[in-house]
Amino acid sequence: MGSPAQDRRDLFTRYDLGVSPFWSEATPQEQDAQRDWHATIAARGNVRFGHQSFVSPLAAVYADNLVIGDHSYLAAHVYVYGDHEIGENCTLNPFSELRGLVRMGDGVRVGAHTSILGFNHRMEPDEPIYRQGLTHKGITIGDDVWIGSHVVIVDGVTIGAHSVIGAGSVVTKDVPAWTVAAGNPARPIRDRRSASSKAPKDLGIRLHRLGEKAREQAAEVLARCWHGDAASGTFLDHPGASRTLRAWCDATELADLLLGSAPPQTAKDRIVDLLRSNQDPETGLVPELSDTGTPGSAAPSMDGHAPVNYHVLAAGYALELLGSRFPHPIRSVADLSAVELRTRLDQLPWGEEGWRAGSWVDSVGTAFHRNQADFGMAGEVETLFGWLLLRCDRATGLWGRPDDRSRWLEPVNGFYRLTRGTFAQFGVPLPYPERTIDSVLAHAVDETYFRADRGTACNVLDVIHPLWLCARQTGHRRAEGERWARAQLDRVLRSWQDGAGFSFALETGHGPERTPGLLGTEMWLSITWLLADQLGLSDSLGYRPRGVHRPEPQAGVPGRRR
């Protein structure tokens, strides 16, 4: 006969890996073995088992005090150590752990590899940590809580009833009841109770149909904007448009989003070579293509050169999607000293041209990311964030104020560009999210820019992204933002043009902005994802942006503990 541990392994069954009806389906021998295992665990401490509770023989249970409620389940490789109460109908999935002091209500689901740590180390400076004792504030988890996989919950936290904690989150503060929270550190995303009223029942179906239609017609949309043969042709934003580098980047993003590949019109290596060869080796900047489609000449700096600024984003992300990168660092940004960067920030036209100021910061932040990710060059990222945090207007949550000419347009649009390349891209919390929401919603009802028949891709993006980003931190005025998102989705879902995609401006008429093309299609599909995600419906689309408009942070601040 083998060891007790070996004997338990010999009894390993499907019941150990997932919630299964053990007590109604297991053989008499398996049920007797489970009762014996209960007795073994009970001999180790003060342990009480509820009716038809199950503990895998491969779980490590060494609790001083433990209550397991009726019909609760501990899977294989669960680790339980300390003083715990587990309510009825709870589940701890494989490799999850309870340590310290934990009180768990009824109906709690704990995902695999999750750590619920109801203790902490002392760390006074006069003793080595290994000689210091532990503290136990304890963790309390209410009824009907779902905790995703790979979550960490630290000591002293209370998670309110009916909450959901997203996978991979680190919970360091209390979570109110009915809250959906996620992130590191975890922050409120939405109130669970609003999920059923967020959108009409058919909205998810309409989003699904748009996603299907876009995928089915993606090749046709790309082919419409391709001019020439596979060896020497070029992408144009729309038939008859001028040659631009952005058209190549938008085509790459659309193909990745909808086809999961490079654009089929030409060789992937040709696109990579075009984007890489267009980078100026001295400045690292990417100029516009010449009239013949060959590389142009780089501007000496990013000041006042909108295509050059945006190409840091567009070309950099397109290369990333193609599995490549810039051949040279972006030295125009890497070589900025802290003093030079602060001076440049001070000189930006925050008062009258918030969008231009924000777009410059977006490009600089993205250049820092590219240099860090591709060349290990940190740059003055902390100087940039320090300036932004100190200069953000506490009253508006923006980096500018409205004026009589365009009202909130410039500061709100500038906020989007600025935060896209900094706070969103590096995963840093916004300083005043509630005030930001107040300002953005004031802009969102301005009929000069938004009506049932009005709202360009840029203007809608510049509202929904801030609302979406702020919702990662606060539920402030959530319902108003959701109503606005539903109205925009209704308009977008009626505006796809078969075989051509979206135009930049959805209203009917003539001119480039009202002609379907690559830019409008790429932007509106990304905007649609953000609008849908604000309503909890983005999964209906069947796609997720991975380029300029990707929702996940791209990088951490160099040297910042994560």
Q: What is the 3-state secondary structure (H, E, C) of 193-254?
A: HHHHHCCCCCHHHHHHHHHHHHHHHHHHHHHHCEECCCCCCEEECCCCCCECHHHHHHHHHH
Q: What is the pTM of this model?
A: 0.67
In terms of domains, do 374 and 311 share one? no
- Decide: 467 and 486 in contact? Cβ < 8 Å: no
Token pair in block for residue 354: 């918030």
Same domain, 265 and 216: no
| DSSP H or E segment with residue 125 | none
- Number of separate domains in the chain: 4
Domain membership of residue 365 as a residue range: 331-406
Residues 521 and 398 in one domain: no
In a domain, 104, yes or no: yes
Is the Cβ–Cβ distance between 508 and 514 less than 8 Å? yes
Does 172 lie in the same domain as 219?
no
Residues 400 and 376 in one domain: yes
Query: Is residue 232 domain-shared with residue 186, that is, in the same domain?
Result: no
Q: What pLDDT, on a 0 to 100 scale, did the predictor assign at position 561?
A: 40
Are residues 133 and 25 part of one domain? yes
pLDDT for the residue numbered 21: 74
In sequence order, what are the residues at sequence separation of 6 or more whose Cβ sits closer than 8 angstroms to the Cβ of residue 11? 30, 33, 57
pLDDT by 10-residue block (mean), the chain, 562 residues? 46 63 82 91 90 91 92 92 93 94 94 94 84 89 94 95 92 91 86 57 88 96 96 95 96 96 96 95 89 58 73 96 96 94 94 92 96 92 96 95 90 96 94 96 94 89 96 90 94 95 83 91 98 90 93 68 38
Are 147 and 111 within 8 A, CB to CB?
yes
Q: CA nearest 559: which of 337, 372, 389, 345? A: 372
Q: Are residues 267 and 367 in the same domain?
A: no
177/174 Cα distance (integer angstroms): 10
d(CA 203, CA 516): 24
Residues designated catalytic: 121
The 10 Å Cβ neighbour count of residue 509 is 9
In a domain, 427, yes or no: no
Are the CB atoms for 193 and 208 separated by under 8 Å?
Answer: no
What pLDDT was estimated at residue 305?
Answer: 60
Say if CB 357 and CB 315 are below 8 A apart. no
Q: How many CA atoms lie within 13 A of 289 on its CB side?
A: 20
Based on the domain organization, do 440 and 537 belong to the same domain?
yes
Indicate whether 417 belongs to any domain.
no
Residues 349 and 270 in one domain: no
* pLDDT value of residue 9: 46
Does 426 reside within a domain?
no
Residue carrying the six token digits 């410039």: 410
In this structure, is residue 414 part of a structural domain? no
Instruction: Examine the domain organization and report whether 137 and 255 are in the same domain.
Output: no
Q: What share of the chain is helix, strand, coil (3-state, %, to 5)?
A: 40, 15, 45
Q: Of the residues 328, 353, 383, which one is the last residue of a structural domain?
A: 328
**Element housing 554 (H / E):** none
Residue 556 resides in a domain: no
3-state class (DSSP) for residue 501: strand
* Residues 124, 482: Cα–Cα separation, whole Å: 47
Residue 258 is assigned to a structural domain of this protein = yes
Examine residue 293 and state whether it is found in any structural domain, yes or no: yes
Q: Which CATH number covers residue 129? A: 2.160.10.10
pLDDT reported for residue 145: 95
Judge if 219 and 283 occupy the same domain.
no
